RNA sequence: GGAGGGAUGCCCGAGUGGCUAAAGGGGGCGGACUGUAAAUCCGCUGGCGUACGCCUACGUUGGUUCGAAUCCAACUCCCUCCA
């Protein structure tokens, strides 16, 4: 398929698609994958009830693993969430309550189920069914003295201090608490536990996890004389250097509850030209030849590639039907200039609100297009607010049932953000 | 334990008694241009109120003053050097 020196189908495709940044032992991993099924894990922190695009490259890697007959193991850090990963953070993360963590775990599982096929067989048998595990199952039971004697002896403070993730925090004015310092020890412990329980021999992660991953590899080798490996993905930024997945309202969420499918599709549709090929390879299942063909489109033609990227990426996350509906809504809205295309995000308001009439700036807040009244006023003053395609001149204009067109009122913030307000 | 330095809005960073909701930059949002791109240019960017306005904000708590982000005291946290 592609000449990159690897024998295993997974390594060939992962390398060709741009998933690989660093690997503790590429040759050994390649060999293991030729011999049989490998179980690999990635940890997700339950800091929110949905994953976002920042984690998508990891999820896609798990998906790729499954495609090639290996077993993806998703670890949610119910235990480590109570500590917080200090890696490359400016400040200590605030600690979360048990309740929050529990809700978040469920939400994250929902996101993962869109991308992976889970197996109910969580035994040590290596297959390709994904499994989901929670490290609270073992971390919560740890006894301090036992832990220190068991694995504490294998960690060198000198070494830990040399890791970029720690060094960074130490070099900056922000300190590092002992609590946070232990994160990487527990992550190593996770790796060993997964190796023992589920035969996991590979840990995946973003390049910022390199230090933590290597620590785990060392621990398993020292205590269990087992050989396990680590593989990291590149840190993703857009071609113009911005962090991947940040928008106006924060993160680009994978959960529909947090981000309408239409907006998810729009996120991908607005990819920078220079990123199209890279994103097609990482975030869709399209064959490499097709990615290359689309990437080569020049000028305005590359918009076709972006539409395909958007639909394919959205299909993976929200299903083919929803993706096509989003594509169609975008086509009607942007290419036909239709006001109330079906499948635009909908916001329902009480009948009474429209019966009485409501100032337009309030309606924008209510619909979630802006966060505050002041922001809504500024939007109007800047000429960026529209109702049913007409620019709003006065922020105090009253909107009522009279403004309904085809059973809805379309509010727009700028050219790209639209919400249909309906009664309900 | 000792000596010195620091804590400013989403982030970085100026500001050392009133002209400061606080320079400048980044980020974000909107507009123009374009291809729903990038680059560039323009505007906006604490909350509430239609508005003269009110409230909240420069680590925390008190104090001095007609008036404090700016002066004083105590406290908290961070950094650097010494032990």
Domain of A355: which CATH number?
3.10.290.10
Quick: pLDDT tens for A187-230. 999 999 999 999 999 999 988 888 889 999 999 999 999 999 99
Q: Is residue A93 pLDDT above 50, yes or no?
A: no
Is the minimum distance from the CB of A179 to strand B below 7 Å? no
Q: How many CB atoms lie within 10 A of CB A378?
A: 15
Residues A408 and A286 in one domain: no
| A173 has a pLDDT exceeding 90 | no
Q: Which of residues 211-240 of A touch strand B (CB under 7 A)?
A: 240
Q: What is the pLDDT of residue A182?
A: 79
CB proximity A90–strand B (7 Å threshold): yes
Residues A417 and A368 sit within 8 Å (Cβ to Cβ): no
- Quick one: A120 and A161 in the same domain? yes
Residues A34, A157, single domain; the answer is: yes
pLDDT digits (tens, 9 = 90+) for A357-390: 999 999 999 999 998 999 999 999 999 999 999 9
The rounded distance, in Å, linking the Cα atoms of A181 and A166 is: 8
Residues A209 and A310 in one domain: no
Q: Are A85 and A93 in contact (CB under 8 A)?
A: yes
Give percent of chain A with pLDDT exceeding 90: 61
pLDDT band at A184, cuts 50/70/90? Answer: confident
- The listed range with the strongest mean pLDDT (A76-90, A141-155, A366-380) is A366-380
CA A415 to C1' B31, in angstroms, rounded, equals 11
Domain boundaries, position A401: 346-423
Residue bearing the bigger pLDDT, A298 or A173: A298
Q: What are phi and psi of A118, to 5 degrees?
A: -90, 150
Same structural domain for residues A92 and A66? yes
Q: Is the CB of A266 under 7 A from strand B?
A: yes
How much is the pLDDT for A90? Answer: 38
What's the mean pLDDT in A279-297? Answer: 96
- A213 located within any domain: yes
Domain assignment of residue A2, yes or no? no
Known binding positions of A for ATP: 246
Same domain for A273 and A400, yes or no, is no
Residue A39 is predicted with a pLDDT of 94
Q: What local confidence, expressed as pLDDT, does residue A89 receive?
A: 42
Does A131 share its domain with A103? yes
Q: Is the CB of A278 under 7 A from strand B?
A: no
Poorest-pLDDT segment among A12-16, A235-239, A250-254: A235-239
Q: What is the pLDDT of chain A when averaged over all its residues?
A: 87
Question: Considering its fold, how many domains does chain A have in total?
Answer: 3
Distances (CA, A) of A157 to A180, A181, A260: 14, 10, 46
State residue A91's pLDDT score. 40
Q: Global pTM? A: 0.89
| A401 has pLDDT over 60 | yes
A241 in any annotated domain: no
Distance CA A29, CA A37 (A): 11
Question: Residue A337 CB closer than 7 angstroms to strand B?
Answer: no
Q: Which two tokens stand for residue A157?
A: 């403070």
Percent of chain A with pLDDT over 70: 87
CATH number of the domain enclosing A66: 3.40.50.620
Mean pLDDT of A342-369: 92
Say yes or no to pLDDT of A170 above 70: no
For residues A329 and A354, membership in a common domain is answered with no
CA distance A343 to A332: 10
Which pLDDT band, with edges at 50, 70 and 90, does A335 fall under?
A: very high
Distance A12 CA to B22 C1' (A): 56
* Beta bridge pairs of residue A412: A386, A418
């Amino acid at each position: 398929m592609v000449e990159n020196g690897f024998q295993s189908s997974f390594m060939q495709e992962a390398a060709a698609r741009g998933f690989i940044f660093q690997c503790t032992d590429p040759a050994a991993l390649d060999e293991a994958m030729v011999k049989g099924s490998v179980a690999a894990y990635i940890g997700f922190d339950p800091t929110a009830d949905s994953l976002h695009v920042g984690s998508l490259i990891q999820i896609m890697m798990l998906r790729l693993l499954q495609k090639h007959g290996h077993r993806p193991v998703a670890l949610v850090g119910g235990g480590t969430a109570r500590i917080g990963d200090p890696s490359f953070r400016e400040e200590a993360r605030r600690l979360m309550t048990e309740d929050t963590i529990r809700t978040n775990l469920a939400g994250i599982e929902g996101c993962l189920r869109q991308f992976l096929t889970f197996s109910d067989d969580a035994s040590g048998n290596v297959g390709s069914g994904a499994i989901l595990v929670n490290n609270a199952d073992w971390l919560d039971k740890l006894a301090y003295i036992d832990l220190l004697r068991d694995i504490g002896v294998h960690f060198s403070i000198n070494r830990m201090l040399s890791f970029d993730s720690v060094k960074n925090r130490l070099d900056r004015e922000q300190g590092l608490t002992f609590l946070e310092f232990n994160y990487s020890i527990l992550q190593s412990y996770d790796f060993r536990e997964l190796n023992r329980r589920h035969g996991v021999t590979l840990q995946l992660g973003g390049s910022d996890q390199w230090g933590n991953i290597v620590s785990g590899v060392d621990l398993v080798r020292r205590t269990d004389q087992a050989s396990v490996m680590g593989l990291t993905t590149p840190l993703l930024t857009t071609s113009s250097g911005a962090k991947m997945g940040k928008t106006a309202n924060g993160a680009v969420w994978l959960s529909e509850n947090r981000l309408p499918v239409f907006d998810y599709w729009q996120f991908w549709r607005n990819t920078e030209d220079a990123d199209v090929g890279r994103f097609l390879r990482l975030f869709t299942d399209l064959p490499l030849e097709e990615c290359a063909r689309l990437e080569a489109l020049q000028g305005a033609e590359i918009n076709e590639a972006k539409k395909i990227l958007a639909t394919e990426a959205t299909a993976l996350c929200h299903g083919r039907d929803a993706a096509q509906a989003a594509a169609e809504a975008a086509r009607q809205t942007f290419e036909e200039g239709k006001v109330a295309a079906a499948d635009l995000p909908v916001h329902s308001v009480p009948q009474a609100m429209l019966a009485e009439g409501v100032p337009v700036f309030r309606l924008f807040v209510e619909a979630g297009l802006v966060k505050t009244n002041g922001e809504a006023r500024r939007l109007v003053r800047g000429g960026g607010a529209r109702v049913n395609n007409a620019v709003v001149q006065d922020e105090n204009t009253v909107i009522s049932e009279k403004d309904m067109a085809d059973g809805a009122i379309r509010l727009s913030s700028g050219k790209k953000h639209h919400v249909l307000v309906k009664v309900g």
